[in-house]
Amino acid sequence: MSGHLSRRRFLWTAASAAVAAARAEAHQPPTLTVGAVIARMQENLGLPWREKSIDGLKAGSPDAIVTGIATTVMASADVLRRAAAAGRNLVFTQEPTFYNAVEDGGNRSSDAVYLAKKALVDERRLVVWRFSEHWNARKPNEPVGALANALGWSTYRLPDGDAIYKIPEMRLDAVLEHVRTRLHVRGGLRWIGRPDMPVRTVLLSPGTTDLPSTVARMPRADLLLAGEPREWEALPYVLDAGPQKAVVSVGRIVSLEPGAAACAAWIRSFTPEVPVETIAVGDPYWSAS
Amino acid sequence: MTAQEIVTRIQQKLAADGIAWRTTTVDTFKAGRPESTVRGIATTGMATFDMLRRASAAGRNFVITHEPTFYNHLDQTEALASDATYLAKLRFIEDQGMIVWRFHDHAHMLRPDPLVTGSARTLGLTPYASPTERGIYTVPQTTLRALAADIARRVGGRFIRVCGDPEMKVTRIAMGPGYGVPPLTQAVDVSIGGEAPESGGHAEYALDAQALGRPRGVILLGHMMSEDWGMREAADWLRAFVTEVPIDWIAAGEPFGRRS
């Protein structure tokens, strides 16, 4: 979470708020464009903007006037409808929108669901902007910090910057119940480990869990709390490590939702003219077992 | 008979069946000495540490695994060189005189693909296989909820995940093994497989299809609950031309829910 406004950003935000207030007094509608929001994001990011990036405009016009902003992990049709109904016409999504990374529909270009989703975006005049790579590049990692915050573990972060949290000791079954409640997981919750195993150190790995970073950090953690660990990579690695290690997998979307909420708070800090909120996708799975 | 001799015989069998050995393949020895004498063979979905212990105890020192041994598709071990878990597993394999060989790319080239037929048989889908479309099964009309419950009972999986309207009608199913879950389209009602990213043509599509009034579903069994069964068929296939040593299927089993 980036709760600390820099002095520069504070002054800038205060100045833009004053401008907005002056406009309101003059009875002029605010005219914040998508392009202006992006410029502010680039200015506030604290990192150089990458020339080649998966981030960028995926649907709609960069000149559109922004009436409200929504952040989400995935711009599903349901999320887009809720955004439109609430007047949040600019949607920032972490994941792709049209079933593949190139967003052009590919071999789905005549698929009825693809076309209906495109039509939904067009008819509701929504702007969909993917914001993932740059958000994930901030240090310390935003999705990790936000996930820890959602679990009430923020203060337990070890100072090594490696996303390991030293929590008050809990049994694994208690951790599972805590995770289920705090993150609203349904069928997506899966785990490996003895229910009575004591958990003191947790490696938080929202989203993708790559093997090299797991191998580097897991020796210092009892539990890997992950989003979407591949079942031929990090998962069997922890399984093979033996009964003193455990995995809790919550699913990609669920693991990234706190980060999307943090992203909304960050954008809100420099777009005072318009409402900014996060829209949750929720756990896509129910359990058949 | 050595492990290398058995692999050579597998390659000869494939060649006789018109399947040329690929120049680039993950189907290689992963640990142990190819010249070691084989006392028995165990096929498995994945050579996990637990599976290797069971194979060793059963006197099956040659393990033929479908998925990697060392946690990445190419079984690259540079990043693991000083890792305690990797070293313990490697030492166990060597100390027990075991050999691990991967049978992935060429297993999927067999016709029929044993990973698909093994999964279909376990799921009870075999009688419904399309005669013309590979991986398509047309079942008597059911619902996503009923289909998923039936599948969960058949595979015994404890962590079977489903996305889609539970009451949606299902007749046309696409099924693929492991990570090869067929992407959802309007051409099928449900896609079934092992594991798939939530972003893309599976859960994401199912969520949108439901929201946009064209419901489709996805059922994820878990990677081993999808592919372990196929290696039982691979054991049957091997027994036809490797008769000198006993051959067993030793399942890796579902990792989730394990206590260790």
Which residue on chain B is closest to A185 by alpha carbon?
B161
- Would you say residue B243 has pLDDT above 80? yes
Q: Which chain A residue is nearest to residue B166, measuring alpha carbons?
A: A286
User: What is the number of domains present in chain A?
Assistant: 2
Determine whether the interchain pair B204/A211 forms a contact, defined as Cβ–Cβ distance below 8 Å.
no
The answer for A 150-179 residues in CB contact with B (under 8 A) is none
- Inside any domain, residue A214: yes
Name residue, tokens 């979407």.
Answer: A228
Under the banding of pLDDT at 50, 70 and 90, the label for residue B259 is confident
- Summarize pLDDT for B145-154 with one digit per residue, the tens: 999 999 999 9
Q: CB–CB of A95 and B212 under 8 A?
A: no
Mutate to test the interface with B, among A172, A232, A249 (most CBs of B within 10 A): A232
Residues A172 and A121 in one domain: no
pLDDT for A4 equals 47
DSSP for residue B76: -
Q: How confident is the model at residue A108 (pLDDT cuts 50, 70, 90)?
A: confident
Per DSSP, the three-state class of B90 is helix
Do residues A150 and A174 both lie within one domain? yes
Q: What is the mean pLDDT of chain B?
A: 97
Q: Are residues A133 and A146 in the same domain?
A: no
Residue A136 has pLDDT above 80, yes or no: yes
- The token pair that represents A2 in the structure block: 């980036």
Q: What confidence score (pLDDT) does residue A209 get?
A: 96
Range of the domain at A169: 142-255
- The answer to whether A284 contacts B85, with C-beta atoms less than 8 Å apart, is no
Q: What is the pLDDT of residues B170-207, one digit of tens each?
A: 999 999 999 999 999 999 999 999 999 999 899 999 99
Please report which helix (H) or strand (E) contains residue B224, including its range: helix B223-239
**pTM of the shown model:** 0.93
* Nearest-neighbour CA in chain A from B163: distance (Å): 5
Whether residues A169 and A110 share a domain: the answer is no
Mean of pLDDT values over B224-230:
97
Query: Is 80 exceeded by the pLDDT of residue A26?
Result: no
Task: Give the residue from A118, A138, A158 where a domain finishes.
Answer: A138
Same domain, A95 and A168: no
Q: Taking residues A46-73, report their average pLDDT.
A: 96
Residue A250 sits in the same domain as residue A146: yes
CB pairs A-B closer than 8 Å: 166
Q: What are phi and psi of A185, to 5 degrees?
A: -80, 140
Domain extents for chain B? 3-110+226-249, 114-221
Boundary (domain end) residue, out of A83, A108, A138: A138
Q: Which fold would CATH assign to domain B114-221? A: 3.40.1390
* Stretch A94-113: mean pLDDT: 82
Under CATH, what is the fold of the domain B3-110+226-249? 3.40.1390
Lowest-pLDDT range of A107-116, B30-39, B89-98, B112-121: A107-116
Contact A253 B198 (CB under 8 A): yes
Same domain, A120 and A176: no
Q: Based on the number of CB atoms within 10 Å of its own CB, is A51 exposed (0-12), middle (13-18) or buried (19 or more)?
A: exposed
Percentage of chain A lying above the pLDDT 70 cut = 88
Could you check whether B3-110+226-249 and B114-221 share the same CATH topology? yes
**pLDDT at residue A30, as a whole number:** 62
Residue A154 has pLDDT above 70, yes or no: yes
Q: Is the pLDDT of residue A172 over 50?
A: yes
Q: Which two tokens stand for residue B49?
A: 């540490």
Instruction: Specify the CATH number for the domain of residue A104.
Output: 3.40.1390.30
Same-domain pairing of A115 and A174: no
| ipTM for the assembly | 0.97
Answer yes or no: are the C-beta atoms of A180 and A189 closer than 8 Å. Answer: yes
Q: Is A97 in the same domain as A151?
A: no
From the list A117, A195, A236, which residue is nearest B212 (CB)? Answer: A117
Residue A263: inside a domain: no
Residue A98: name the closest of B165, B195, B189, B208 by CA.
Answer: B208
